Amino acid sequence: MTDPYSWLETKLTAIARAGWYRQPQYRPDLADFGSNDYLGLAHHRALQAAAIAAIQQYGTGATGSRLVTGHLPLHGELEQAIAHWQGTAGALVFGSGYLANVGVLGALLGPPDLVVADAYNHNSLQMGARLSGATVWVYPHGDWQAVAAYLAQHRRRYRRWALVTDSVFSMDGDLAPLRELLALTAEHEGMAIIDEAHGTGVFGDRGQGLVQHLGITAPLVHIGTLSKALGSFGGYVAGSTALISYLQNRAPTWIYTTGLDPAATAAARAALAILHQEPERGDRLWQNVALFRTLAQHHDLPTAPIQSPIVVVPLSSSAQALHTAAALAAQGYYAP
């Protein structure tokens, strides 16, 4: 008899040999150069106090789907605060940013439709596009001219279409050409699904994201996360009343899952208040970006052009990256 699970060991060996093997680690002793806690809110006393108070009032779990027993007044308060902050009619919070992306794409698009997606989109957008059943056309990273050419030729074959992109790319830290892309969605009557996971709390005068920073007011499906700069956990969608109601009735990753837990909901609500009360946290982030840029130049550290707090230092291989991370850890820096 052969062990039906023995292939796992074989695969793991191959992963390790290719220099891709990783394991979770906990290194609070190191200076953080790797987390998404851009504003240092995950340890903010106001978030902690809000989370504790919410647990004491509502318990540790939401206990059900929002459409059944899992809806709390806290959810409504957070959603109103997000809508107010984003200047939209409504907002909806999801169990994570990943779930928001998968749910939105699945709800808004189907087999007769077209998804036009950047090659460097986050995995959750890629999976959402695939699960929607729509035709997915992936354009070379940032190449809006390619999008223009493709739409001119192919748009008419599909019922609906959506442009789908990160605003700030999670691995390369560069920015999507949103002005050009959103001019194309306007011209070709497409939906724009913009993932601001790394723009939230980072760009915009109160951390609303790159879209707001660029002064773009086009109607769009704005997705963000509560899990990064907002120091909590969860995802959100901001948009029109019709969009929000539709998602509440058609997004499976919102309907068939338990409501966001009280602690995360309350912490996120507190984080939004901090964005308004302590805007200096955003200023400090950009000062750190500028300092890093200056020091990198001073030390001839080769970096890709720095456009966001995500800085790319090109290395020759994944094995080299793991080796460099270990060397940095030995010197007190956490960049896993």
- Residues lying near ligand PLP in the complex (CB under 6 A) are found at 96-98, 101, 122, 124, 166, 170, 195, 197-198, 225, 227, 235
Give the Å distances, CA to CA, from 300 to 294, 309, 310, 329: 10, 19, 18, 21
Residues 70, 261: contact at Cβ < 8 Å? no
The Cα–Cα gap between 181 and 185 comes to: 7
CB of 18 to ligand PLP, least distance (A): 24
Single-letter residue type at 13: T
Closest to 201 (Cα-Cα) out of 191, 210, 192 = 210
CB of 257 to ligand PLP, least distance (A): 13
Of the pair 310, 325, the CB lying nearest ligand PLP is at 310
Of the pair 36, 158, the CB lying nearest ligand PLP is at 36
Of the pair 88, 121, the CB lying nearest ligand PLP is at 121
CB of 297 to ligand PLP, least distance (A): 27
The Cα–Cα gap between 194 and 219 comes to: 11
Of the pair 85, 158, the CB lying nearest ligand PLP is at 85
- Ranked by CB distance to ligand PLP, the top (closest) residue is 97
CB of 174 to ligand PLP, least distance (A): 12
Of the pair 151, 261, the CB lying nearest ligand PLP is at 261
CB of 233 to ligand PLP, least distance (A): 7
Residues 128, 121: contact at Cβ < 8 Å? no
The Cα–Cα gap between 192 and 185 comes to: 7
